[in-house]
Structure 1
Amino acid sequence: MATPRKQALPRPIDRSFYARDPLRVAPQLLNKVLMCRDGRAGRIVEVEAYRGADDPAAHSYRGKTARTEVMFGPPGHMYVYFTYGMHWCCNAVCGPGNAVLIRALQPIAGLERMYAARPLAKNDRQLCNGPACLTQAMSITKLQNGIDLTQGESYTIVDDGTPPPRRPVRTTRIGLTKAVDYPWRWYVAENAYVSKK
């Protein structure tokens, strides 16, 4: 009897994927999978693009600072920032000053660990349905700022063969006071794990 082949794990997305305009990267990140090496994983179902000097809402709009240094480094790194004095948010860097904010995940693995990290979540939908929720569920903090998502170390984004949606919903971004009319948010239509419809 033949020995069954061990299934290969999905490979991290290549750096060249990120080294493009964030308006192209963002919708193509939908349905990719954010993975932690401890087994937690979630499918990306909602994103927002931020476009540096062309975008008054981007942290990098006024140039490089100590806070935004990672955004001006190599594409494919994680940019993590603190907001509202209480929450972490994570982004995939897309080149000088550009990034894509990961706004929501559909949990697909390691849910016990996610619930342990988010004890107030009442159901699977509440685990990762917002940028602060997903960083809590995935234990992403300032310690992950600058990690290389393409190396498959502590955190990575992989393509498991699920294509991005052919017609993602496109809207304006959420919770901004600048560039509020830019339609740079995308999400998977009819997905229950999106933060806001």
Structure 2
Amino acid sequence: MNDRLLPPSFYDQPTLELARALLGKKLVHQTEEGRVSGYIVETEAYMGPKDQAAHSFNNRRTPRTEIMFGANGSVYTYVMHTHCLVNVVSGGEGFPEAILIRAVEPIEGIETMYKRRIKAKRDQDLTSGPGKLTQALGITKADYGRRFFESPLYIAEGRPVEEISEGPRIGIDNSGEAKDYPWRFWETGNRFISR
């Protein structure tokens, strides 16, 4: 399949605009078990030093957050509880912002996804959450620091999205007023968004 990879310049948009622009784009991972992909249908923006919910709040710089201070379009993976989560670095060098990919609509390699997500009973359960989608697509901490415009883990042109909804982010109750910021975006009515 000939994917048109999004160019590095695509990632130079302001973070909130990029979080919306990623909807409908195709997240692809070439793995040893074969190629898996899905359309991005839900994202969350994390706005760096002033965002209490961001790992880089107050410019916190640790080995884990170091990539957030780097180039736009870099892959930021980290483990939360037992799940690996994947983010797109944004904001520009020295401005540590990122966008969490919360859910994708599976396209290719669905059989492989079921093997990796043994508990999933139906397609909606494969990738409808940030930990589910990384498991289904075989994305791990080892992908930290890659670039989303290069194989094996990349984002390509996808399909148009008719309508976008927005609301508060999920699972960040201990982040003061930041928990209410409407920085989660999803394709309205898509059945693969997280619960």
Displacement of 1:163 after TM fit? 2.1
Following the alignment from structure 2 to structure 1, what is the Cα–Cα distance between the partners of residues 144 and 84? Answer: 10
Q: 1:89 aligns with which of 85, 89, 92?
A: 85
Q: Which residue of 1 aligns with 2:28?
A: 35
Higher mean Cα deviation, 168-177 or 8-17? Answer: 8-17
| AA at the equivalent of 1:159 | E
Displacement of 1:77 after TM fit? 1.0
Following the alignment from structure 2 to structure 1, what is the Cα–Cα distance between the partners of residues 35 and 86? Answer: 18
Q: Which residue of 1 aligns with 2:55?
A: 59
Q: Which residue of 1 aligns with 2:170?
A: 174
- Secondary structure of 1:180's aligned partner: helix
Q: Judging by fraction of residues, say which structure has more helix.
A: 2
Q: 1:26 aligns with which of 5, 19, 24?
A: 19
% identity of equivalent residues: 41
| AA at the equivalent of 1:122 | K
Q: Which residue of 2 aligns with 1:125?
A: 124
Contact 1:28 1:164 (8 Å CA) reproduced: no
Contact 2:50 2:58 (8 Å CA) reproduced: no
- Secondary structure of 1:12's aligned partner: coil
| Count of residue pairs the alignment pairs up | 185
- Secondary structure of 1:16's aligned partner: helix
- Please, which runs of 5 or more residues in structure 2 have no aligned partner? none
| AA at the equivalent of 1:18 | Y
Displacement of 1:62 after TM fit? 2.7
Following the alignment from structure 1 to structure 2, what is the Cα–Cα distance between the partners of residues 174 and 123? Answer: 23
- Please, which runs of 5 or more residues in structure 1 have no aligned partner? 1-7
Task: Find runs of 4+ consecutive structure 1 residues off by over 4 angstroms.
Answer: none
- Whichever of the two has the greater Rg, that structure is 1
Higher mean Cα deviation, 141-150 or 57-66? Answer: 57-66
Following the alignment from structure 1 to structure 2, what is the Cα–Cα distance between the partners of residues 132 and 25? Answer: 21
Displacement of 1:130 after TM fit? 0.2
